Structure 1
Amino acid sequence: MSCPSATLTVWASAWLAGAAAPDDVLDALAPWAAAHDVQAADADTGALTALPAPGEPVGSVTFLLAALRRLGGSGSAARLVLPAPGDVRGLPGPGMFSREATAAAEGVLFVDAGIGVVPTTVADGVLRWTVYPVTDPGPPAGYVALSQAETDLRDQVRRSASVLTALGVARHRPGVREEIAAALRARPQSLWPAGMPGRVLRVLQHADEVAAILAAASGDDPGGALSASAATARRDALRPIDAAVRVARRAAVAEAVRVLATSPMV
C-alpha cells in the first residue's frame, strides 16, 4: 500500500542492484495506476537525462530506469521523501523538486544521479512521473533505526483507539471501524521484491493501518459540527501520529533499499 513513491524507491533500487528486471518495476507500479508515463520538468532537464521535455511525446518508466543507469550507474542511492507542512526532512534546498514534492506530499530523490521524481495524476488512470534536476541533495532525514520506528508505530496503533474516542469520531460515526477496514481493503496492494525483510513489511503494513485511522479521524466532522477550537484540537492530537507514520515509512523503505543494494538476488 504505502504510496507510489515508496514503490518506485524500492523497486528502482532493486533494479539498479541487479535484483529485479525492468518488467518487475512496471508490474509493481501497476496497482497505483493503469498507465505510468515519464517527462522531464523542462528542456534543460530533458537534455541532461535524455527524457522527453514538455511538449514532446511522453516516455515510459523504462526510459527513467535507463536514465538512472546512465546518470548514476548501479550505485544511484534512492531516498524516499514524504514532506508535510512543518516537516521537510530529507528534501534538498529550495527548488523545483522540493516545491513539487511538498505539493504532492511524496517523491523520490536519486542522489547519485542528481535527479528527483514526483508522481502526479494527470488523467483518469494515468500517473506521470516528472523528473527534476537536483544538484545538491542535501542531508538525508535523521536516521531512525527500523526497530525504533516499529516500536513507536506500535505505540501509535495503541494510542489511536483512545484518540478516536477522545475526539468523538466513533460517536459521530458508529461504523467508523468497519469503514477503516474497508478503506484498507480498497487501497492498492503494493508488490515488494522477494528479498524484502519481514520487519520492513510489518512496519509498512502498520503504517498503512494507522494512516487509514488518521484519514477517518481527520475527515469526520458531520455537518461541520466541530467548533474551530475543537477542529484545531483534533489536528493537534493527530499530528504526532501522522509524523510517526511518515518516519516509519521512511525508515522501512531506507532499510529495504540498504538490504537490496547489498544483497543482490540475481
Structure 2
Amino acid sequence: MPCPSATFTVWTSAWLAGAAAPDDVLDALAPWADAHDVQAADADTARVTALPSPGEPVSSVTFLLAALRRSAPRGPARLVLPVPGDARGLPGPGPFSQQAMSAGEGVLFAEAGLGVVPTSVADGVLRWTVYPVADPGPPPEFVALNQAERELRDQVRQSASVLTSLGVARHRPGVREEIAAALRARPTSLWPAGMPGQPLRVLQHADEVEAILAAASVDEPGGALSASAATARREALRPIETAVRVARRAAVAEAVRILASSPLV
C-alpha cells in the first residue's frame, strides 16, 4: 500500500521550509485515517519533545508539528521504507529502526535526532509514535529519479515476462476491474501546490504497480499454486517490489529537495 509516511515526509518538510501551513499538513493526513494521535515512545523522549509518554492521554499532530518546530537543528524529513533484507535509509540500531522495520515505513528527522512511525491502533485511528534517534547512520543512498523511474518500468516488463514463463500469469477474468477497484479504494494522496511533476508521476506509477502486484499475488479461483510455483512467483515479484520502494523514496526525496528550496514568500 502507498504509505502515510510519504505524505508526512513531503508535507512536514515543506512546512518546516515555509512552503506550507500547519493546517495544510493536517488536511493532507486526513485521507489516511479518521483520527490521528501522537505520543512519545518513552519518558525521555516525552521530556525532550513535550509529547505524552506511553500510558498518558495521547496528543495530536498539531503538537507533533510544534515539537518538530522546536527541535534543533532542524532539517527536512527522510522517508524510510525498510523490509527484512533491505534496511536502506535506516539509522543505526535502535527503537526507531526496529519499529520502522516492523511497520515497513517511517519518517526520519536525522538532524533533530527523531524518528516517527505510524501504526493503526484502532479502526480509523492512526498513531504517530516519536522515537529518539541517537545515531543518524550513514547519509542516505542517492538514487537519481530518472534512474529509479526507468528501473521501475524495466522491472515491470521483466517480471511480467518471468511470470508468464512460469505459467503463473494467466489471464484472470475481471483482473483489470480488480486493479482499478484497488486503486479507487486507496486513500487519495494530497500534495503541495508546488509539487514537482516528475516526482508526482513516479508516485502515481508506484501506486499503480502496487495494485498490479496485489492482483498478481492472487490465485485463480480453484487454482491454487503448488508450493514450488508460489515460491517462484514470489521470487519473480520481489525485484519489482524493491523497485517500487526505491522509486517512492527517490520521488519523495526529490519533492522534498525542491519544495524545501522554494519557500513561500
Distance 1:221 1:88, change over 3 A: farther
* Counterpart AA for 1:158: R
Could you list the per-position Cα deviations for residues 74-111 of structure 1 after superposition, in whole angstroms to 9, with x for gaps in the alignment? Answer: x4221100001200000012211111101110000011
Residues in 2 aligned to 1:160 and 1:183: alpha-carbon distance in whole angstroms: 20
Q: Which is further off, 181-190 or 241-250?
A: 181-190
- Whether contact under 8 Å (2:9, 2:79) holds in the other structure is yes
Q: Which residue of 2 aligns with 1:137?
A: 136
Cα separation, 2, equivalents of 1:99 and 1:223: 39
Alignment partner of 1:119: what SS? strand
Cα separation, 1, equivalents of 2:29 and 2:69? 19
1:225 and 1:196, CA in 2 relative to 1: closer, same or farther beyond 3 A? Answer: same
Deviation, 1:222, is 4.5
1:5 aligns with 2:32: no
Q: 1: CA distance between counterparts of 2:228 and 2:163?
A: 17
How far did 1:55 drift? 1.2
TM-score (norm 1): 0.94
Question: Counterpart amino acid of 1:183?
Answer: A
Q: Match for residue 226 of structure 2?
A: 227
Q: What stretches of structure 2 of length at least 5 have no aligned partner?
A: none
1:49 correspondence with 2:49: yes
Tell me the residue number matched to 1:174: 173
Alpha-carbon distance in structure 2 between the residues aligned to 1:174 and 1:161: 17
Residue 27 of structure 2 is matched in structure 1 by 27
Alpha-carbon distance between aligned partners in 2 of 1:236 and 1:170, rounded to the nearest angstrom: 14
In structure 1, distance between residues paired with 2:32 and 2:126: 8
CA distance in 1, matches of 2:166, 2:46: 49
Alpha-carbon distance in 1 for matches of 2:137, 2:260: 21
Q: Is the 8 A contact 1:4 1:119 kept in 2?
A: yes
1:143-222 correspondence runs (5 A) = 143-166=142-165, 168=167, 170-171=169-170, 173-220=172-219, 222=221
Q: What is the alpha-carbon distance in structure 2 between the residues aligned to residue 195 and residue 6 of structure 1?
A: 16
1:3-44 CA-to-partner distances (Å, cap 9, x unmatched) read 100000000001100111111000000110011010001111
CA distance in 1, matches of 2:84, 2:69: 33
Between 84-93 and 212-221, report the one with greater CA deviation. Answer: 212-221
What letter corresponds to residue 204 of structure 2 in structure 1? Q
CA distance in 2, matches of 1:26, 1:5: 13
Measured after TM superposition, the shift of residue 168 of structure 1 is: 4.5
The share of aligned pairs that are identical, in percent, is 82
Deviations 1:142-190 (A, max 9, x none): 2110111111122233345435544555537322222111101110110
Alpha-carbon shift at residue 140 of structure 1 (Å): 3.7
Distance between the aligned counterparts of 1:228 and 1:42, measured in 2? 43
Contact 1:79 1:110 in 2 (8 A): yes
Which one-letter code corresponds to 2:157 in the other structure? R
CA pair 164-179 structure 1, distance change in 2 beyond 3 A: farther
Query: What RMSD in Å do the two structures reach over aligned CA positions?
Result: 1.8
- Which whole-Å CA distance do the structure 2 matches of 1:249 and 1:212 have between them? 14
Alignment-derived partner of residue 37 in structure 1: 37
- TM-score, length-normalised on structure 2? 0.94
Deviation of residue 219 (structure 1)?
3.5
Gaps of 5+ in 1: none
AA aligned to 1:263 is: S
Residue 211 of structure 1 and its aligned partner are, at CA, apart by 0.8
| CA positional deviation for 1:224 | 7.2
CA contact (8 A) 1:172 1:222 kept: no
Structure (1 or 2) with the greater helix fraction: 1
